Amino acid sequence: MTYPAKGYGTYGPDPWQQTSWDARAAGNFIGGGMGSGLIVFALLSGATGAALAVLLLAGLALVGLGLFCVSLELGRPLRALNVFRNPRTSWMAREAWTSVLLVPATLAAAAGIPGVAWLALALALAFVHCQARLLQAAKGIAAWREPMLRPLLVTTGLVEGGGLLLLATLGPIRVPTSLVVLLGVLVLARWTLWRLYRRRVDAKLAPRAAAALDRAGRVLLLAGTLVPLASLAVVAVTEMSGLVLPAVALGGLAATAAGAYLKLVLVTRAGFNQGFSLPHLPVRGTRS
């Protein structure tokens, strides 16, 4: 039996769905992962000048959009600066401080200042890592506390960024073959990590959480894995002509959208608390 808890849905021995983080919180993981991944892939793409600047600014805009989604969730937005407290113990604080460093480093790289590109790349990787640790630190949620979630979210963010870079091939950007191969490897790695993650959390999930993750898994397989791999195969065996570019962009869009949907499901639909564990109940009139 479960009982109503004001502001928190229900509580009791059965798992209940958390309501503290909603689609706005998911927006932080979606925007932050996409933006960080795009910054990484843009800096690895060999793009220069205005093309590189546009990619980097787009990545920063996505990171900023994700952080803005978090601010919308705050009951008292004026207290948002409190997020910078306790970086020694809080992954949310570490994420915030990393974003503060990421912005000027990426802007400097976009301006073509020598020697800062690798710093921006390292900070983008650190940012998506902080996001993965932030979600996995919620030990009361069975779908989140699994350690395999960390590499899954980091890889998903990189795939999303690579997918956005493929979308940019419709413009003046040309993706080197080495980066196409890297993206293909990451797509396969994401699917492998997903299967490992799903297998390890299976026995711990509430039925509704398991059903939501299974739906997300089907989307990840079809749209997030098979379509991008088919698109990347086209790139590998043909020249990137005008006829091929739309197929490449479609693969990138599918890879990115599937990752975003997976994060949305993880945060909003699979976030079930484990419930109370009461293996021994006191009995009145006897010693416990």
Overall residue count recorded for the chain in this entry: 288
Q: What is the CATH number of the domain that holds 174?
A: 1.20.1630.10
Higher model confidence: residue 5 or residue 113? Answer: 113
Question: Residue 171: which domain range?
Answer: 17-268
pLDDT of residue 181: 86
Residue 110 in domain? yes
Please give the tally of structural domains in the chain.
1
pLDDT of residue 77: 59
Helices (H), the chain: 23-44, 49-73, 91-110, 117-136, 149-167, 177-201, 207-221, 227-237, 245-268
Average pLDDT over residues 78-83: 65
Residue 167 in domain? yes
| First vs last C-alpha separation in the chain | 23
Residue 273 in domain? no
pLDDT-derived band at 103 (thresholds 50, 70, 90) equals very high
Read off the pLDDT of residues 190-199 as tens digits, 9 standing for 90 and up.
999 999 999 9
Residue 96 in domain? yes
Average pLDDT over residues 5-22: 61
pTM to 2 decimals?
0.86
Average pLDDT over residues 234-244: 61
Residue 278 in domain? no
CA distances from 245 to 11, 47, 230, 251, 287 (A): 52, 18, 13, 10, 75
Residue 279 in domain? no
Residue 236 in domain? yes
pLDDT of residue 89: 76
Residue 275 in domain? no
